[in-house]
Structure 1
Amino acid sequence: MKVGFIGTGSMGSLLIDAFLSSGALEPCDVLASNRSPNRLLQLKQRHPGISIGSNRETADGSDIVFICVKPLEFKSLIDEISASMRSEQIVVSVTSPVMLYHLESTLPSKIAKVIPSITHCAKSGSSLCIFGSRLNKKDRLLLLRLLSFVGVPMEIQEKHTRIASDFSSCGPAFISYFIERWIKAATAATGIDETLVTRLAGEMLLGTGKLLTEGGFTPQELQERVAVRGGITAEALNHLRSSLEGVFERLITTTHDKYDEDVEKLDALFGLSGIVQAPLDR
């Protein structure tokens, strides 16, 4: 099975690195293209054996094609490769605002959307899977098996793409920002070694994740278990609750507004403006 990657920037190269290091694919299975020849050469130096070429060559030679370009680059790319695509191929968009209907209206191929996460670098985290109407059970299982090498694939409804991505894909940045600010405050206030406290924070996040996914705890139950009434943790939690009032609601509004804006721009590019589609859930 040949797997192509059109776009080898941040997410494209992450997926290639993760699939190869996990054993999901061998270098001879991978085709890649990018508008930057230097980036492609660097990728080939890192992974001898992969095939590099043009977008059309990658599209034509692949059984599964991951499209890893920015939202507003999709239409010109589709125009470039559409003549090379076939009905038996699987095309996978990794860009959340690109809707299934954008690609199913312009390509003959089977269409899926997969939202990966930087956590796949550690063979962890979730990949969000949205399957188009042309994929059969065998196609879905093929994609799920491939993605299971680098994380936990989870099928979701397309209308939940944005909110699910807030957790699985954007979440590492949000949580890292919180941890970064906490670490800086700790080192400034106490002089504790930054490397040490960063390691403590990382191990805490790993353990907390396991308690939520494997230990049977809900977030609220974890808080109740750790925060003894009248204790230090409980007092600090009360401070957090008051300080963060409304923050998460504004975060969700911000990500959804940008998502809706990008979808509208893509509708215009694909000539689908004014067509009534399924509403995007908030």
Structure 2
Amino acid sequence: MKVGFIGTGSMGSVLIDAFMTSGALMPNQVFASNRTAEKVALLAQRHPGLNVCSSNAETVKNSDIVFICVKPLQYKALVEEIKDEVKQDQMLVSITSPVQIRHLEQALACKIAKVIPSITHLTLSGASLCMYGTRIAPEDRLVLEQLLGAISKPLEIPESHVRISSDFSSCGPAFISFFLDQWVEAAVEVTGIGREQATSLAGEMLLGTGKLLTEGGFHPLDLQERVAVPGGITAEALALLRQSLNGVFHQLIATTHAKYEEDLKKCDGLISDTKT
């Protein structure tokens, strides 16, 4: 199987690095192109044997599956560039949430899927969110999910839930890291603990908590009840958090959804008029 990547920026390179680390793909199976040729060249240096393509059309010509890892507003130009090269038996996988499957099925004759990856795949963990177009057969899903299964836990979701699901799986690492960074910074200022030590403690705690929630049979409320003894230190701090964070997560969801709707409208205007 030959796998192409159009766009090797942040998430494109995450996917390539993760597939290589896991052994799911060998460098000679990968074809990649990018507007900035130096980015692909750097990937080829990290993974000798990776095929550097001079154009997106060349990537498509050489690949069975093509991951599209570009920004939403770049899709219209990209579709125009590759639409005469795609074949009906090819699978094109978009990783951009505002670009709808219907947009791509209207514009391209191949099989269309959408996957929202996560930076957590660099450690071969986290969820990859999978959505499928009308031309995708069960065997196509199996091939894609076996590939993604080497670096993540593939989860099929309805496209209507892509934004809220991405808040957890894709944006979540940044949100949690922000919370931990603020906590560590306060700990350093108030107590004098070393930043490196506090960060290491926080990371190990987060890793263990994730395992309790995914493997240990715990629900978030169960963990709170198990750790917070009534009248104890943890219970006192939780009361403070409940009061201070009241409404914050509703605002967070409103913010991510508003930006998504804004991007979706832009994509509708740009891509919907592109036909096969």
Give the aligned partner of residue 275 of structure 1: none
Aligned to 1:176: 177
Superposed structure 1 runs of 4+ greater than 2 Å apart: none
Q: What pairs up with 1:229-268 in 2 under 5 angstroms?
A: 229-268=230-269
Aligned residue type for 2:261? D
**What letter is aligned with 2:38?**
N
**1:280 counterpart residue number:** none
SS in 2 for 1:78: helix
Distance 2:272 2:148 in 1: 32
- Give the residue type in structure 1 aligned to 2:239: N
Counterpart of 2:89 in structure 1 is: 88
Aligned equivalents of 1:194, 1:266: Cα separation in 2: 43
Q: 1: CA distance between counterparts of 2:267 and 2:169? A: 23
Q: Which amino acid aligns with 2:184?
A: I
Corresponding position of 1:32: 32
Q: Deviations over 1:98-130 (max 9, x none)?
A: 110010000011000000000000111000000
Deviations 1:53-107 (A, max 9, x none): 1100001110000000000101110111000001000000001111100100000
- Counterpart amino acid of residue 270 in structure 1: I
Partner SS, residue 59 of structure 2: helix
In structure 2, stretches of 5+ residues that fail to align are none
Q: Which residue number in structure 1 is paired with residue 50 of structure 2?
A: 50
Please list, as runs of the form range in 1=range in 2, the aligned pairs for 1:81-160 lying within 5 A after superposition: 81-160=82-161
Return the alpha-carbon distance in structure 2 between the equivalents of residues 246 and 142 of structure 1.
Answer: 42
Tell me the TM-score normalized by structure 1.
0.95
| Equivalent-residue separation in structure 2 for 1:271 and 1:136 (angstroms) | 24
- Residue matched to 2:61: 60
User: d(CA) in 1 for partners of 2:37 and 2:129?
Assistant: 30
**Cα displacement string for residues 202-221 of structure 1 (whole angstroms, at most 9, x for unaligned residues):** 11001110111111111011
Instruction: State the Cα distance separating 1:259 from its structure 2 match.
Output: 0.5
* Structure 1 position 16 matched with structure 2 position 16: yes
What is the TM-score when the length of structure 2 is the normalising length? 0.98
Superposed displacement of residue 271, structure 1: 3.4
1:165, distance to aligned residue in structure 2 (A): 0.1
Give the counterpart letter for 2:35 in structure 1. Answer: R
Whichever residue aligns with residue 104 of structure 1, its letter is E
Deviation at 1:34, TM superposition (A): 0.4
Q: CA deviation at 1:193?
A: 1.2
Match of 2:188 in 1: 187
**1:278: which partner in 2?**
none
* Matched residue type, 2:79: I
What is the Cα deviation at residue 46 of structure 1? Answer: 1.2
Q: CA RMSD of the aligned region, Å?
A: 1.0
Percent of aligned pairs with the same amino acid: 62
Q: Does 1:208 align with 2:209?
A: yes
TM-superposed CA distance for 1:40, in Å, is: 1.6
Distance 2:46 2:214 in 1: 34
CA distance in structure 1 between the partners assigned to 2:18 and 2:31 by the alignment = 15
SS of residue matched to 1:5? strand
Aligned partners of 2:20 and 2:27 also within 8 Å: yes
The one-letter code matched in structure 2 to 1:224 is E
Q: Which residue identity is paired with 1:107?
A: L
Deviations 1:232-258 (A, max 9, x none): 000000000000011000000000011
Aligned residues: 273
Tell me the equivalent position of 1:276: none
Q: CA deviation at 1:41?
A: 1.3
Q: Which residue of the partner structure matches residue 41 of structure 1?
A: 41
CA contact 2:106–2:272 (8 Å) conserved in 1: no
Cα contact 2:93–2:113 (8 A) shared by 1: yes
